[in-house]
Amino acid sequence: MNTLSRPDLDPVTFEVLKNSFITSVDQMAEQMLRTCYSFVIYNRDFSNGLHDAQGNCVAQGNSDIAVHVGTLHYTCKDVIRAFEGDMYPGDVYAINDPYAGGTHFSDVRLIRPIFDEETLIGFSQSNGHWSDLGGSVPGSFNVTAHEMFGEAVRITPIRLFRKGKFCADVANMIAANTRDPASIIGDIHSQAQATQVAERELQRLVGKYGRDQVIQGMEEVQDYVERAVRQRISDLPDGTWEAVDYIDRDPGAGEGMIPIHIKMTIKGDEIIYDFEGSHPTISSIYNSAHGATFSAVVAGMKTFFPDLPLNSGFYRMVEIKAPKNSVVSAEWPVAVTGFLMPFEKIMNAIFEMWSQIMPERAIACAFNLEYLLAGGNDLRKPEKPIYMFYEWLPGGWGGRNGKDGSDVTTACFGTGLMSQPSEGNERVNPTRADEFQIKQDSPGPGKWRGGAGVIKASTLLEADNTVMSYICDRERAVVWGVEGGLPSMPHGLMVEHAETGEQNWLGSVFSNYKIKSGDRFTRPTAGGGGYGDPMERDPERVRHDVIDEYVSVERAKIDYGVVIKVNDADMLDYEIDVEATGKARAHIRENRKAWARMDPEEVSRLYRNGEINEMDAVRQYAVILDWGSGEVMPKSTQQFRESFERRSVAHWS
């Protein structure tokens, strides 16, 4: 229960300090955007934080990406443990250790102690995703790695600046173990300067209000958030809710999806998230250490409290129970660079549970973030021969109670990320974007449809010795709908080889795949899952989706039972056939439960014969296939059908 004392600062000073702390972190972001070297960081794959003298998070910025929420205080405290009693003004420390509460090795945090005269009053922290940190493949995402030794350089707390002097030997040693050392050194200085921005702002506040008032303010803003969250939780009914979501596979253990099970209990003004029943660690990088799991819980829960500022006060009433050596609590040296895959499953499971508690904010499953990485020799630039292509795409969020999902939006994992401009990638990498547009029919059908995903195709230009990795999921654990809504579509990547014209479906998980100049690679991102029975969607909304090319005429009939006449496509003259629509919807209502239970082998035959596509397989028949060969994935199908029955079929009238 809440035993916090009431604030001592007057309300005006409190509000000024609270917002000043947040603004100082936002100014750190502006500094990084204008001085960073990496294209990845420029596209906002970073976050910043201000901490008190104990390492507790006082403020994060308004645009910090969701994945770093709830992890910065862990790494700050680890630095304090390493250097306590040996800190000086002008020091800057670095850490990227996921086993010490970080996310993955690519997220490198620079932390600066802030002093008023000789008194330590706080810390500023800048976290940027470096596009390469060594390891066995360009981009440091080797999906086949079992242990961290094949992933990247692990940086336990080290000093990069001592009393303001740059420790060039240490920085150069780290940079020399990467494929882009010049950018690494540049980003170190950019992040170090960002931490200095917050130092300057905090010292300015001390000069204006006094040290004691500022320290008191840092404490009270955390207490304020804690009180607010505890009050809101205590207003909710006590109870227990459960959800399960899946990672597609364990590459070393055969077919079958990997469950992440969460039981959430509200008791008074506290919440327990229990992951008992989640799968043990798997033989790839798709494992999460404890800090990243905590971050996923906080990020998912924070979505339902959007008006509150974020700091360590938000964390105090949250308890995580995660079995050791599970996919959500991996320990050294288990590979964890792909933690974002369990991360998003945790977030979406939490969305589902909180949607039951706050139905007015209910939301279906969002698409899964994907990373495409390629590296080799850039033949255009002999002065900088090694290039690093690192790209992510937007997609669709789930349909909501009373509103369609957000179209072409960055993933829930990384809210705050920018959608990378193709022109920027073309400038720094030997690639050309041939197609980049909304993927028609990608939104999961529902009374309120999911948001739309995209499709992008690119060609490799003047390059040599290039290998590609794809870090993705939801090829089998397809983005799901709720309250009767339907899934979206499977993720995956296709390569067309210039020399042979051969097309290879590579799916959503591979590393170190060789490509040559002229090869073309194409991948879509899923839309969000549908919310509510698609038979209850207003036909007029479906017609407008057809006009706007979110939905095709064919799938309007298949998914929504809405028959549309095309009078003049050029003039956008589309008409609903009311009588045919009534018959189509009656036919779907009569048969859809039987379709969802059809023999999977029969569905496989229809798919291999070209009579149905992957959208039909998951939306009508709830069957998971190898989307290249058409072979049935029996265990994955069983798991997917259990989800489909619970989230969709059970809500059909």
DSSP 341-388: HHHHHHHHHHHHHHHHH-GGG-B-PPPPP-EEEEEEEETT-TTS-EEE
Give the global pTM. Answer: 0.94
Cβ count near 617 (within 10 Å): 26
Compute the Cα dihedral for 9, 10, 15, 20 and give only its sign. negative
Strand-pairing partners, residue 377, are 386, 464
> Could you report the per-residue pLDDT of 92-123, keeping only the tens digit for each?
999 999 999 999 999 999 999 999 999 999 99
Q: How far is CA 344 from CA 92, 391, 415, in A?
A: 32, 18, 12
- As given in the structure block, the two tokens for residue 373 are 């990485």
Q: Are 171 and 160 in contact (CB under 8 A)?
A: yes
Phi-psi label, residue 492: left if phi above 0, alpha if psi -120 to 50, beta otherwise: left
Rounded Cα–Cα distance for residues 110 and 191 (Å)? 7
> Could you report the per-residue pLDDT of 398-435, keeping only the tens digit for each?
999 999 999 999 988 877 778 888 999 899 899 999 99
3-state class (DSSP) for residue 103? coil
Q: List b or e across 169-183, with b for residues whose CB sees 16 or more CB atoms inside 10 angstroms.
A: ebbeebbeebbbbeb
Rounded Cα–Cα distance for residues 617 and 622 (Å)? 6
- As given in the structure block, the two tokens for residue 549 are 């090319």
Rounded Cα–Cα distance for residues 327 and 318 (Å)? 20
pLDDT of residue 383: 78
Count, residues in the chain:
653
Q: Are 327 and 278 in contact (CB under 8 A)?
A: yes
- As given in the structure block, the two tokens for residue 313 are 């006060």
3-state class (DSSP) for residue 233? helix
pLDDT of residue 492: 95
Cβ count near 441 (within 10 Å): 23
Rg over alpha carbons for the chain, rounded to the nearest Å, is 25
pLDDT of residue 520: 98
Strand-pairing partners, residue 371, are 392, 471
57's CB contacts (< 8 A; 6+ apart) are 49, 50, 51, 72, 73, 76, 222, 310, 311, 312
Amino acid at 200: R
Rounded Cα–Cα distance for residues 622 and 249 (Å)? 18
pLDDT of residue 2: 47
The ranges of the chain with pLDDT < 70 are 1-7
Q: Write the DSSP symbol of residue 281.
A: P
